[in-house]
């Protein structure tokens, strides 16, 4: 699935452009008060133009930047230096601006003219103006799907493709035989998803040599669900929803073949299906398969209903066959109540 949706223009980066202007104004003393004079033009983009201006307004020197275009100018910094004809610095001012909207202007310098313009050598004033603009670099770019949306859609496609491989004899190189039924698989997938299968297929065990294994202790439906989980992280729930024994069998198979994420999922389903009638059996299952998380959950649930459970045959059988585990239940109960 392609992430491309359409093409649009996007600002990919902002770069800086520096413009340096030197403007010599002759016969400064003859300039009229409260008047403004347009100076050199600036093209900071092909379609965006501006100019600076100089004025004597109310005894002040006023230097402005004018945006003559229909685009917003991104100004970063300005530096204006006033010099006499010998290059002697008379005044200096720096400013920073964010934007200059179209057809607008901004003051770069406002200084009292007394002592600046009255004694200029040769009646000349040099304006040295350095402007640093922000230029948006616009490029045509593919508009992509949102990452989360793309990953979700692509994940569905991957699962769909893996489902095509699952139990498909075409291209398979390994077979599970359960009674008279067969489940087709791929060694690479089995090895990456199960440490048990990785060891079996990496050594000279007969199953790896003959590319098949005979399953005698797991039912066909349970083994089929287990292999489907290996490929897709899911399985057909038609025969497992509400089927405590099928989830139990799948838990045992997942532990044997070291598919730990499936084992954990089955443990969660067993906990959600727990009743006072099966809690002792779940506890025994957890202890037998060294599942501490499931065992703690069973201990907590048994402790909560201990008065009822100790009257059941399952509890009496536990006391007879596994006194240590029964004592662990009692110790847990009295310690936490």
Q: Which residue has the higher pLDDT, 259 or 58?
A: 259
Structure tokens at 28: 């400064």
Res 193: pLDDT: 92
Maximum average pLDDT range among 61-75, 88-102, 164-178: 164-178
Are 16 and 125 found together in one domain?
yes
- Examine the domain organization and report whether 17 and 132 are in the same domain: yes
Residue 4 lies in a domain: no
The average confidence (pLDDT) of the chain is 83
**Does residue 173 form part of some domain?**
yes
Residues 171 and 196 placed together within one structural domain of the fold: yes
Among 62, 134, 136, 73, CA closest to 103:
73
Least reliable range by pLDDT among 158-162, 164-168, 171-175, 283-287? 158-162
Structure tokens at 277: 């009638």
What is the mean pLDDT of the segment spanning 36-62? Answer: 78
Q: Tell which wins on pLDDT, 322 or 101.
A: 322
CA–CA gap between residue 281 and residue 317 (Å, rounded):
10
Q: In the listed set 238, 268, 298, which residue is the last one of a domain according to the structure?
A: 268
Question: What CATH number has the domain bearing residue 47?
Answer: 2.60.210.10
Indicate if the pLDDT at residue 200 is higher than 60. Answer: yes
**Residue 235 to residues 178, 225, 251, 265, 336, Cα–Cα distance (Å):** 18, 5, 13, 11, 38
Q: Do 17 and 50 share a structural domain?
A: yes
In a domain, 67, yes or no: yes
Contact call for residues 27 and 46 (beta carbons, < 8 A): no
pLDDT classification of 1: cutoffs 50, 70, 90: very low
Q: How confident is the model at residue 49 (pLDDT cuts 50, 70, 90)?
A: confident
* Rounded Cα distance, 332 and 161, in Å: 48
SS3 of 151-191: the string is HHHHHHHHHHHHHHHCCCCCCCCEEEEECCEEEEECHHHHH
116 and 37 fall within a common domain: yes
> What is the mean pLDDT of the segment spanning 94-98?
80
Residue 243 has pLDDT above 70, yes or no: yes
Judgement on whether residues 68 and 38 belong to the same structural domain of the protein: yes
**Residue 28's pLDDT is what?**
81
Q: What's residue 255's pLDDT?
A: 96
Same-domain status, 112 and 158? no
| pLDDT > 90? residue 291 | yes
List the CATH number of the domain containing 191: 3.30.710.10
Residue where a domain terminates, one of 79, 104, 139: 139
Q: Do residue 261 and residue 313 come from a single domain?
A: no
| Structure tokens belonging to residue 180 | 């008279």
Does 216 lie in the same domain as 173? yes
CA distance 116 to 133: 29
Residue the block writes with tokens 């934007």: 99
Same domain, residue pair 135 and 173: no
pLDDT digits (tens, 9 = 90+) for 303-314: 999 999 999 999
> Is 156 found in the same domain as 46?
no
Amino acid 13: pLDDT: 55
In the chain, % of residues over pLDDT 70:
85
Give the range of the structural domain holding residue 294, as residue numbers without chain letter. 274-336
Verify that 157 and 40 share a domain, yes or no.
no
Show which of 83, 116, 139 is a domain's final residue.
139
Count of the separate structural domains present in the chain: 3
**What is the distance between the alpha carbons of residues 322 and 320, in angstroms, rounded to a whole number?**
6
């Amino acid at each position: 699935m392609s992430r491309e949706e359409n093409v649009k223009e996007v600002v990919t980066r902002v770069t800086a452009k520096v413009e340096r202007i030197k403007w010599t104004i002759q016969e400064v003393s003859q300039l009229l008060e409260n008047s403004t004079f347009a100076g050199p033009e600036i093209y900071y983009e092909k379609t965006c133009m501006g100019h600076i201006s100089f004025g004597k307004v109310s005894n002040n020197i006023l230097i402005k930047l004018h945006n003559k275009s229909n685009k917003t100018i991104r100004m970063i910094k300005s530096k204006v230096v006033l010099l006499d004809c010998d290059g002697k610095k008379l005044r200096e001012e720096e400013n920073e601006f964010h934007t200059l909207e179209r057809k607008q202007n901004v003051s770069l310098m406002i200084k009292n003219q007394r002592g600046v313009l009255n004694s200029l050598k040769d009646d000349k004033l040099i304006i040295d103006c350095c402007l640093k603009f922000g230029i948006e670099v616009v490029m045509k770019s593919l508009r992509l799907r949102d990452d989360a949306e793309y990953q979700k859609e692509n994940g569905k496609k991957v699962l769909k493709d893996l489902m095509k491989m699952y139990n498909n004899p075409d291209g398979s190189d390994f077979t599970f035989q359960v009674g008279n039924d067969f489940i087709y698989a791929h060694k690479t997938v089995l090895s990456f998803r199960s440490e048990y299968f990785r060891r079996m297929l990496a050594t000279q065990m007969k199953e790896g040599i003959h590319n098949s294994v005979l399953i005698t202790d797991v039912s066909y439906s349970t083994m089929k669900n287990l292999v489907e989980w290996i490929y897709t992280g899911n399985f057909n729930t038609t025969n497992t929803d509400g089927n405590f024994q099928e989830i139990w069998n799948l838990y045992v198979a997942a532990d044997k073949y070291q598919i730990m994420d499936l084992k954990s999922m089955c443990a969660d389903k067993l906990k959600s299906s727990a009743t006072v009638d099966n809690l002792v059996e779940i506890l025994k299952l957890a202890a037998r398969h060294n599942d501490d998380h499931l065992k703690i959950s069973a201990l907590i649930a048994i402790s909560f209903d201990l008065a009822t459970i100790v009257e059941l045959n399952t509890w009496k059988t536990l006391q007879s066959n596994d006194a240590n585990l029964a004592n662990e239940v009692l110790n847990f109960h009295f310690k936490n109540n």
